[in-house]
Chains A and B, each alone.
Chain A
Amino acid sequence: MSADQIASRLGRGAPSAGRAGGHLAVPRSIKRRRETGTALLLLLPLFVLVVGLIVYPFYRAIWLSFTDKLVGYPERFVGLRNYLYLANDDTFRTVVRNSLVFTVASVVLKVGTGLLMALVLHATWRWRNFFRGLLLLPWITSTVIIALTWRWMFDAFPGRGFFNSVLLDAGLLSRPIAFMATPEGAMAAVVVANWWRGFPFFGVSYLAGMQSIPGELYEAASVDGAGAGRRFWHITLPGLKHVMLVTIVLTFIFTINDFNIIYVMTRGGPGTATQVFATYSYEVAFNQLRWGRGVTISIFVVPLLIALIPLLSRYLLRERTA
């Protein structure tokens, strides 16, 4: 039973007349002051956590990006040198390009597959909840395990690699293919793993969106002679605008900062073919031990976040603070 169902069931029996009495009992200004005190007290643990472990580290990150901090040496202020270095660094340009290719390809695939999944589930007439739960499985599985799984799926060695095993067994290949040995193959493999992890979330979100579109709209369109394609284009897609925007922006933010899938599957290789922001930042900070530069790499993503977050909060905050 959902929270709303419980609430509406119990709400029926609740004395709503009590509400006015509650407000009369305490003068409004005193009540508000008391509530502010309580609120501050309740929010205190959150503020401690946020200031100590998010805001302060973030401030340290900004400071570090202006230094040439090497592990074992004191940090020296170098101004914008890290930023200028990266702006002129060929590897970093590759990293930016890879991050965008990885993110855009994953998001496009997830939107397409998610729509298809939602349409299929929407048309399912029995056991819809069962199938919805089953198809959500990749989304709750550990990303590390998903990355390992797809590493074995694409493995060049037939005993471990699913595609090589099956294709060789079916006689479609004469010798195994090393899918992840080429730059394009490695990029395709990490995109597939990311897509597989993410599309069920899109599908379930779009299904919820489709279920909230009033059926009368479809009936009216049918009466007016609109076919299935036009009903999808003129009713379903506009009805999903909100949820599509939210899922796309959310996933864009989390995919462009992805670390797990790429680190586990390719470590950014072959060469720098799949190196993205987070893996390159890790590589520079923890393998080359250049912390100042490593931090600067991740700070390059911040303007993008600042641009995208207001877009999202406009949609998401409405339902939380209203």
Chain B
Amino acid sequence: MTAWKAATIAGLVGFCLVVLVPFWWIASMSFKTYEQIQFAQSIYVPRPFTWENYTGLWLDTRFPLWLRNSAITAVVVTAITTVISCLSGYAVARLRFPGRESVASLILILYLVPPALLFIPLYRVLAELGATNSLWSLFLSYPTFTVPFCTWLLIGFFKALPVELEEAAMVDGATRTQALLRVLLPLAAPGIVASAIFAFTLSWNEFLYALIFIQDETMTTVPVGLNLLIYGDVFHWGQLMAASVITTVPVVALYMFIHRWMVEGLAAGGVKG
């Protein structure tokens, strides 16, 4: 029995180290001076500790602009995604209509289509619409992967709620719309919030489409901007690390907020891994 406990503790410590060491390495480098990095001084803990990478990143680079672009994109895409996914998720989960199962399989297949398959033709379509080189290209292209995914999640969430509640409301004289707004939506709120956070995270982290659809360095998002920091100015390692830290923090904060729902969503449906 104690041998099992010891093995479990050893396993936990091992996994925590594997997960945390890379995060710690990046975070600690973001607080090191140029000399400390260049000459491999105080490798484990930055001494002295400096904020110069953060101030430099904020004042001397386009990072604030990229952060703004990323935030706008993530918010707009999340809004579009939530509306479309709630409508389609409700239709598939609750309404009886011919072809319902085909719609469900279509959503699943779309969720499995990798973005790498579509980037060249999508670029042409967006160029013809005049959307490239602006955030519009991202507002239009990101829902191609967020909507199937979130719809898929929401079908599961809606199905888990008992249909009797809405039927009871309708018997009591509520219209379907009222039943949807007053009964189902409040109950499904945790699921909708979780799916919205997934949409936000997927947009926030997206790289390939932003790299291809936007050439203007002032119009791009953080993940593409980070790569510009490497190839643009090879010497600002610390700033790059600081940028990575700043970009990761909002997602981790959101994630702590919904962690439980998220894990249940994962277990319920299977999520991109």
A residues in contact (CB < 8 Å) with B = 1-4, 6-7, 10-11, 14-16, 18-19, 21-22, 25, 32, 35-36, 38-40, 42-43, 45-46, 49-50, 52-54, 56-58, 60-61, 64, 110, 116-117, 119-120, 123-125, 129, 131-145, 148-150, 152-153, 158-160, 162, 165-166, 168-169, 196, 198, 200-202, 204-205, 208, 246-247, 250-251, 253-254, 257-260, 263-264, 277-278, 281-282, 285-286, 291, 294-295, 298-299, 301-302, 305, 309, 312-313, 316-317, 319-321
B181 adjacent to chain A (CB < 8 Å): no
Contacts of A277 in B (CB 8 A): 116
- A133 and B122 CA atoms in complex are apart in Å by 36
Q: B residues 1-59 with Cβ under 8 Å of A? A: 4-5, 7-8, 11-12, 15-16, 18-23, 25-26, 29, 36-41, 43
Q: What is the chain B residue whose CB lies nearest that of A285?
A: B120
The answer to whether A124 and B12 touch across the interface, beta carbons within 8 angstroms, is yes
Top 10 nearest A-B pairs by Cβ distance? A120-B11, A257-B114, A201-B273, A208-B267, A278-B116, A142-B205, A57-B121, A159-B40, A60-B121, A42-B91
The answer to the question of B185 belonging to the interface, with a C-beta cut-off of 8 Å to chain A, is no
* 15 A-B residue pairs with CB within 8 Å: A7-B160, A22-B167, A42-B91, A43-B91, A46-B84, A46-B151, A49-B143, A58-B121, A131-B16, A135-B15, A142-B223, A153-B22, A160-B237, A301-B117, A317-B105
CA distance A198 to B38 in the complex (A): 32
Specify which chain B residues have a CB less than 8 angstroms from the CB of A135 in the assembled complex: 15-16, 19
Instruction: Name A138's contact: one of B19, B39, B266, B270 (CB within 8 Å).
Output: B19
Considering the complex, give the chain B residue whose CB is closest to the CB of A25. B171
Instruction: Let me know if B201 and A140 touch, CB within 8 A.
Output: yes
For the complex, give the distance between the alpha carbons of A291 and B122 in Å.
12
Q: How far is the CB of B261 from chain A (nearest CB, A)?
A: 7
Return B167 CB to nearest CB of chain A, in Å.
4
Question: Is B247 engaged at the interface, CB distance under 8 Å to the other chain?
Answer: yes
Task: State the main secondary structure of chain B at its contact with A.
Answer: helix
0/1 string, B78-110, CB within 8 A of A gives 1: 000001100110111001111011011111111
Tell me the residues in window 259-273 of chain B with beta carbons closer than 8 Å to chain A beta carbons: 259-261, 263-264, 266-273
Bound Cα distance A321, B223 (Å): 37
Within 8 A of A (CB), among B189-219: 190-191, 201, 204-205, 207-208, 211-212
Write out the residue numbers on chain B whose beta carbons fall within 8 Å of the beta carbon of A298. 116-117, 120
B135 at the interface (CB under 8 A from A): no
- CA A258 – CA B141 in complex, angstroms? 18
Option from A54, A246, A305 in Cβ contact (under 8 Å) with B144 = A54
Selected contact of B26 from candidates A139, A140, A149, A168, CB within 8 Å: A149
Whether A140 pairs with B108 at a CB distance below 8 angstroms is no
Given A45-B83, A204-B267, A278-B114, 16 further pairs, Cβ under 8 A = A3-B161, A3-B187, A11-B162, A11-B165, A15-B164, A22-B170, A53-B122, A61-B121, A124-B8, A131-B15, A137-B255, A148-B226, A149-B25, A152-B241, A202-B273, A320-B104
B112 touches A3 (CB 8 A): no
The CA of A7 and the CA of B187, in the complex, are separated in Å by 8
CB-nearest residue of chain A to B268: A319
Residue of B nearest to A119 (CB): B11
| A133 and B259 within 8 A (CB) | yes
Knowing A7-B162, A250-B270 touch, does A42 contact B87 (C-beta < 8 A)? yes
Q: Give chain B's interface residues, CB within 8 Å of chain A.
A: 4-5, 7-8, 11-12, 15-16, 18-23, 25-26, 29, 36-41, 43, 83-84, 87-88, 90-92, 95-98, 100-101, 103-110, 112-122, 124-125, 140-141, 143-144, 147, 151-152, 155-157, 159-162, 164-165, 167-168, 170-172, 176, 187-188, 190-191, 201, 204-205, 207-208, 211-212, 223, 226-227, 230, 237, 240-241, 244, 247-248, 251-252, 255-256, 259-261, 263-264, 266-273
Q: Which B residues are CB-close (under 8 A) to A200?
A: 19
What residue of chain B has the Cβ atom nearest to residue A56's Cβ?
B125
How far apart sit A60 and B271, CA to CA, in the bound complex (Å)? 28
- Across the interface, do B156 and A319 meet the contact criterion of CB distance under 8 Å? yes
- Supposing A135-B15, A260-B208, A313-B105 touch, asked if A320 and B266 sit within 8 A by C-beta, the answer is no
